[in-house]
Amino acid sequence: MFDFEIHYRCPHTSARVASFSTPHGKVNTPQFMPVGTLGTVKGVTSSQLEEINAQMILANTYHLHLQPGESIVKESGGLHHFMNWNKPILTDSGGYQVFSLGKLNKIDDGGVSFKNHRDGSNIELTPEKAMQIQMDLGADVAMAFDQCPPYSATKSEVENACRRTHDWLGRCVTAHTKSDQALFGIVQGGCFPDLREESIKSVLNFDLPGIAIGGVSVGEPSSEINKIVRFLKPFLPAKVPRYLMGIGTIPEMAMAVANGIDLFDCVLPTRLGRHGTALVRDERWNLRNARFRNDYQPLDTSCLCETCLYYSRAYLHHLIRNEELLGLTLLSIHNLSHLIRFSRSMTIAIKESCFSEDFAPWQKDSIARHTW
């Protein structure tokens, strides 16, 4: 059910073009997944997501557990039906959010208890509970429950978190009994190569249909992400999708794809959109800027999304300046389209054996020059 077929390989890097089958259709990789935290990609309808060729979206177990609760989602026919998205969905495990958003009360080998960031009530999460919630949500892919330490953690803290994550992975695998849902394991280990190596080996003990690199995007500089991915490359299993969690900038994605990564997600495109910022090539444009006041060109002349086809920079400037909802929606649509289109361009380049030439992330100019 969760076949992963590799169609093309870059002759010069570890980049590959593949497809990952799920109960809700195939995901072509490399692919960027829009984030729909609460079962909604903020400000964007599902038909607008289809129009920009979104293939798989991510939703957050932590947030959906708090609101509306997995029982409501399950009763309504599952997350696909609830949010009207009939293509693949991946849910994270809540691990990242528990450690970054929640106010932790207690953490031990059993699980964690934390304060609901909304109403202060006490919530407990264990590997078994995280699996139950994700099975109730009913996404195509569930993620293992992990402990995700911040970049500032000491080596012994990261080591502890790794040990716990590996122990929890075993419990997740046992508790996860939904055959039409894939369970992906998560590699932790912070910036410590020996811990990363140990972690990926532990994950590989389980024959899972996908693997994720977690513990990135936790405050470390971009160069560290590249180091971690390059270090893990020789250990990555060949025949399953590889997902770099929380990453979604052009240079980071290009570098990761060159090192064999297939899937990405990031809240940045929608978050930036809601703050009036557009992703154009490898730049970020603040549409509030007065220089756009009478700029009647399309936002990105190379982009074919609804925003770029039908609206001008001057109009977007006007909407953002006046805090019009439509501005946030139109910029979110464009920013998501930008990264999905970037995924597609990398795919074509890999197929045509020009990926290393066109997208080599160490040649930063080539990305900016390339018309994708």
Enumerate binding residues for a copy of itself (CB under 8 A).
38-48, 67-68, 72, 75-77, 82-84, 274, 293-294, 296, 306, 310-312, 314-315, 317-319, 321-322, 324-326, 328-330
Least CB distance to a copy of itself at residue 138 (A)? 15
Query: Choosing from 136, 265, 300, 358, which is the catalytic residue?
Result: 265
Nearer residue to a copy of itself within complex by CB, 144 or 319:
319
d(CA 34, CA 340): 9
Residues in the chain: 372
Nearer residue to a copy of itself within complex by CB, 42 or 178:
42
Least CB distance to a copy of itself at residue 275 (A)? 13
Least CB distance to a copy of itself at residue 237 (A)? 37
Nearer residue to a copy of itself within complex by CB, 75 or 124:
75
Nearer residue to a copy of itself within complex by CB, 40 or 366:
40
Whether the Cβ atoms of residue 313 and residue 287 lie closer than 8 Å to each other: yes
Query: Choosing from 92, 136, 140, 300, which is the catalytic residue?
Result: 92
CA distances from 187 to 43, 56, 229, 251 (A): 32, 21, 11, 22
Nearer residue to a copy of itself within complex by CB, 96 or 315:
315
Least CB distance to a copy of itself at residue 68 (A)? 5
Least CB distance to a copy of itself at residue 372 (A)? 24
Whether the Cβ atoms of residue 49 and residue 306 lie closer than 8 Å to each other: no
**Known catalytic residue at 265:** yes
Residue with tokens 């805090």: 323
Nearer residue to a copy of itself within complex by CB, 14 or 60:
60
Least CB distance to a copy of itself at residue 29 (A)? 27
Candidates 285, 262, 91, 267; CA nearest to 176 is 91
CA distances from 175 to 62, 172, 320 (A): 18, 5, 47
What residues have CB less than 8 Å from 47, skipping those under 6 apart? Answer: none
Candidates 227, 149, 234; CA nearest to 189 is 149
Grouping H, G, I as helix, E, B as strand and the rest as coil, residue 130 is helix
Candidates 196, 208, 198; CA nearest to 237 is 208
CA distances from 293 to 163, 214, 259, 317 (A): 55, 41, 42, 6
Active-site residue list: 92, 265
